Structure 1
Amino acid sequence: MATRQGFSEKSKMATITITPDEALVDEKVVINVTGLEKHQLVTLHASLTHDKKTFASCASYVADDTGTVSSERDTSVQGTYTGVEPMGLFWSMVPTRGQRRGTRLSQKNISVPLEVKISVYGGHWTLDHLSEQQNMATMAETRCLRWYKNKSVTAHPVKVGRIRGTLFLPPGGRSLPGVIDLFGAIGGLVEYRAALLASRGFVTLALAFMGYDDLPDVPPSDLGYFQEAVDWLSCQPRVQSGGVGVIGVSKGGEIGLTMAAYIPKVKAVVNINGPTFYMLPSVRHADDKRYEDVDVDLTLVQYVEDCVVLRGTHYTFIETHFFVLKIWNGDAKVLSVIGGDDQCLDTVIHQRLLDKMPSNKKSNMEILKYPGAGHLIEPPYMPLCRSSYNNTMMSIFMWGGEPKSHAIAQEDSWKRIQEFFHKHLQTGNEQTVVIQSKL
């Protein structure tokens, strides 16, 4: 347990403890401050620097009769969050002053943790005030480490045929459900969610499909690349027989739905705010060339806070000649995770897909809609990215979301996603494997 000590203005010893002080990012921690004066006013401040980007949060509390503040028990009366929010200091973080607009916290190197510094100050202060007063004396401070990958999980670069990515293997020799992890049109290889899934008992392939290694800067035009990845993962000795799962966000979600329709070995797909139709440029099955790719109607683009808002730009298409990806061609189960405040896509498209499904296949699709959540629904306790710079489009895009509602969506959906994959990928007498949290 990490502990740092300091002295208050009254020269009384204050101590911060974080339990546990080293954990996976989806694990809750408890922050306690002791050694305060009775009913003393204090402000907790969290900060981290990652990839030359700095984020921070704060919350103001009143100590109890014993001079103690507990994040698990006590109410924040002001700050980047209010109320009883044990993980509020983590999910309410925002970019600090001076950061480039559209800054997003995204872990690129999962072999190192996010290091969060927690400090306590006497009095009630806002984040702006704490930023302005660089030389304010802390009463106490400590640090905690937040990992995406359990140290017992191994990472293996994959460069087989056309496939490019990283395979994450949980410890032990037992066969486990296999999952392919896809991100959106940002391109590159994004590993953090796959590493976290592996830390929760899945054999996970973080699969790049554009803008990485020798891959082109646009998605492949057909499903051949993804079929190859499914076949390869299915043959891995640690992957249970009977099929694999796919999880994708945005463009990755659209690709996941296409895989559900045309790749029989895909048995379960999680679509996080992904299109339910072919978006330009699309990844298609060779037998499905009847429909044109849907492009953005530039006349319907709006701007909020000087950010591009794409929600509504497909309105004419949806209302006139709406077609959907025919996921019912296969027998895969689909879980649609939707942010009610998604500013990139119209949320109605998911219900339209369900409405168009044959009655005997409707039970294959489940919709989870979270009011107030945005487009980029991440693992739990990560800060909301309301807007960010899109290198592909060279613009700042509005993704939407309200911090507390988005945090609720991330915590609940992460639990549901794991349950969904275990339910539809578990075979035979295999038992669900949960890696011990201790790192």
Structure 2
Amino acid sequence: MLRVVAVRAWGLCSRPPGLCTLRSAASIAVHFPRPCLADQPLGIKVLGLDPLQEVTLRALVESEHGSLFDSCAHYRADGQGNIDLDTAPSTGGHYTGVMPMGLLWSLTPAALEHPYDRLEKKDVVKTPMRVELLVHKGHSQPKELPGLVLAKEKVDRWFAAPGVQRIRLREGDVRGSLFLPPGYGPFPGVIDLFGDEGGLVEYRSSLLASRGFASLALPYFGFEDLPRMMKDFHLEYFEEAAKFLLRHPKVKGPGVGVIGTGKGADLALSMVTFLQEVKVGVSISGCCSNTAASLHYGEQTIPALRYDMGMVQISDTAVFDIFESLGDPMDPENKQSIIPIENADGQFLFVVGEGDRNWKSSLYAQLAVSRLREHGKDNFQLLSYPGAGHRIDPPCSPFCIAARDRVLGVPILGGGEMEAHCRAQVDSWEKIQAFLQLHLS
């Protein structure tokens, strides 16, 4: 059920308890479900302006590290003095056109902050991401000092629904966080992997648990006593994680799924190919080959498809374009690195952005699909999004065309266009969940 929350500019003598005091007649009305999860849209309206009044809407978010992210857009009130972001177009600022969630999509580091930081939630259970929405008089450009504040409202965006349980995991060699939905279950189990930035990334797992999945956020280097850097990968580590998940009384068998982004995506393909416990794989912006370091499983070894750093291009703003640097999987000398997914009995979902500049994920998905078809397989789906870039996250995650790599310390070009990328995040999130539910039920 939708509920309206409004902050109004009440007169000083008639201020209801708990509402902000502002001298303008304007207000912001925000429609959102309770609780407001980070993957859900908001319905934002501005009420009580003068007819046809021009204003700048801004969103402000302070990260857990104290960095400020902001966005702005220009709007004009209708004849009744109202603005409904579901129907009203922005005429300037960080975006133009009708984008109801454009203020969240376009959040970028504010002036004086590092320009290539990524807004990413760390503590996904204890605290929400607080978004402050402001209405400023007149039109002001990004990075400029905005006009007088006419109205404001704060909305808390949670990454875990009430009752979601987070369990930090130290099980044998396996590390990570297990997120369990409320209730007795059993629930479909999913292992969640990210890319070569390393460390523990939890925000997708907590949202998956909020949607009914038992999700294990699984780091594989750069965390606690795991290897500090990517050297050799051993699939037994991921096998141990899958077996642990299947043993859990709240996890539904007979198999689990895996979702991976970037390097985590090719690990997901290998898990479905070699591990009998893993039945479903979602590859987001991945490669059809094993990348970065050799992968071992028992007596088998898949060599790594390597990077040629001589192919990296650096822009005038010191952004690294590595699009051409990864080797060609189809070169005869690289074919041993291709993951033999034709041997898998499980199901694959490939999610790619055709504007990905991190590497050629769209081409790699086509190569993988062709390989399956050549072997008479139809155990796959492909979601290919024109204009989307590399990091396809859950909905309402801000678009980031280039982000500082945590390992290399330099900004890497991810590519894409904001609107196309963010719409791909909305569409793919629903289809990923449906795919996992279908094949893990």
TM-score normalized by structure 1?
0.91
Q: State the Cα distance separating 1:12 from its structure 2 match.
A: 5.2
- How far did residue 374 of structure 1 move? 1.1
Aligned residue type for 1:296: Y
Matched, 1:43 2:56: yes
Residue 179 of structure 1 corresponds to which residue in structure 2?
190
User: How big is each residue's C-alpha offset from its partner over 1:352-381, in whole Å with a ceiling of 9 and x where there is no partner?
Assistant: 122222545531122211111111111101
Cα deviation for residue 98 of structure 1 reads 0.9
- Separation in 1, partners of 2:205, 2:342: 27
Q: Distance in 2 between matches of 1:66 and 1:214?
A: 61
Asked if 1:31 corresponds to 2:31, the answer is no
Change (3 A) 1:66 1:358: closer
Residue in structure 1 matched with residue 15 of structure 2 by the alignment: none
What per-residue deviation string (whole Å, max 9, x for no partner) do you get for residues 44-71 of structure 1? 1111111212111111111112111111
Structure 2 distance, partners of 1:357, 1:75, is 44
Secondary structure class of the residue paired with 1:159: strand
Identity among equivalent pairs (%): 35
**Equivalent of 1:4 in 4, 7, 11:** 7
Cα distance in structure 2, aligned partners of 1:234 and 1:381 = 31
SS at match of 1:177: strand
Cross-structure match for 1:367: 382
Judge which range, 64-73 or 304-313, deviates more: 304-313
Contact kept, 8 Å, 2:280 with 2:440, in 1: the verdict is yes
1:297 to 308, 320, 339: 308
Distance in 1 of aligned mates of 2:30 and 2:287: 41
**Larger displacement relative to structure 2 (267-276 or 356-365):** 356-365
Aligned to 2:19: none
Alignment partner of 1:356 is 2:356: no
Q: Which residue of 1 aligns with 2:32?
A: 20
Offset at residue 382 of structure 1 (A)? 1.0
Deviations 1:117-137 (A, max 9, x none): 1011122222232xx34xx42
Out of 203, 207, 229, the position equivalent to 1:218 is: 229
> Does 1:163 pair with 2:174?
yes
Match in the other structure for 2:263? 251
Letter in 1 for 2:38: V
Contact 1:261 1:326 in 2 (8 A): yes
Are the counterparts in 2 of residues 328 and 357 from structure 1 also a CA contact under 8 Å?
yes
Q: Is the CA contact 1:170–1:201 (under 8 Å) kept in the aligned structure 2?
A: yes
- Select which of 267, 273, 296 maps to 1:284: 296
Q: Which amino acid aligns with 1:353?
A: A
SS at match of 1:167: strand
Write out aligned runs for 1:130-169 (5 A).
132-133=145-146, 136-169=147-180
**Which of the numbers 327, 345, 349 marks the counterpart of 1:335?**
349
Aligned AA (2:296): R
Contact kept in structure 1, 2:270 and 2:339, CA below 8 Å: yes
What amino acid is the match of 2:293? P
Distance change in 2, residues 1:350/1:284 (3 Å): farther
- CA contact 1:370–1:409 (8 Å) conserved in 2: yes
Q: Give the direction of change, closer, same or farther, for the CA distance of 1:361–1:180 in structure 2 (3 Å limit).
A: farther
Corresponding residue to 1:308 among 317, 320, 325: 320
Amino acid at match of 1:249: T
Deviation at 1:3, TM superposition (A): 2.9
Maintained 8 Å contact 1:7/1:140: no
Number of aligned residue pairs: give it: 420
CA distance in 2, matches of 1:392, 1:7: 50
Other-structure match for 1:53: 67
Counterpart in 2 of 1:68? Answer: 82
Equivalents in 1 of 2:332, 2:340: separation in Å?
Answer: 18
The change in CA–CA distance for 1:312 and 1:7 in structure 2 (over 3 A counts) is farther
- Where in structure 1 are there 5+ consecutive unaligned residues? 427-439
- Given the alignment of the two structures, is residue 101 of structure 1 paired with residue 115 of structure 2, yes or no? yes
Q: SS of 2:187's equivalent?
A: coil
Distance in 2 separating the partners of 1:348 and 1:358: 15
- Aligned to 1:128, what secondary structure does the other structure show? coil
Mapped contact 2:283–2:348 kept (Cα < 8 A): yes
Separation of aligned partners in 1, 2:24 and 2:224: 56
Q: Is the 8 A contact 2:404 2:410 kept in 1?
A: yes
Q: Tell me the residue number matched to 1:432.
A: none
Of structures 1 and 2, the one with the larger relative CO (CA 8 A, separation 6+) is 1
The equivalent position to 1:188 in structure 2, one of 175, 178, 199, is 199
Matches within 5 A, 1:379-390: 379-390=394-405
Q: Secondary structure at the match of 1:24?
A: coil
Distance in structure 2 (CA, Å) of the matches to 1:422 and 1:320: 38
The residue aligned with 1:121 is 136
Q: Distance in 2 between matches of 1:187 and 1:311?
A: 20
Separation in 1, partners of 2:131, 2:359? 33
| Partner Cα distance (1:342, 1:367) in 2 | 15
- What is the TM-score when the length of structure 2 is the normalising length? 0.91
Kindly tell me: are residues 192 and 103 of structure 1, through their superposed partners in 2, closer, same or farther at Cα, counting changes over 3 Å?
Answer: same
Q: Distance in 1 between matches of 2:303 and 2:239?
A: 22
State the 1:283 CA deviation.
Answer: 2.8
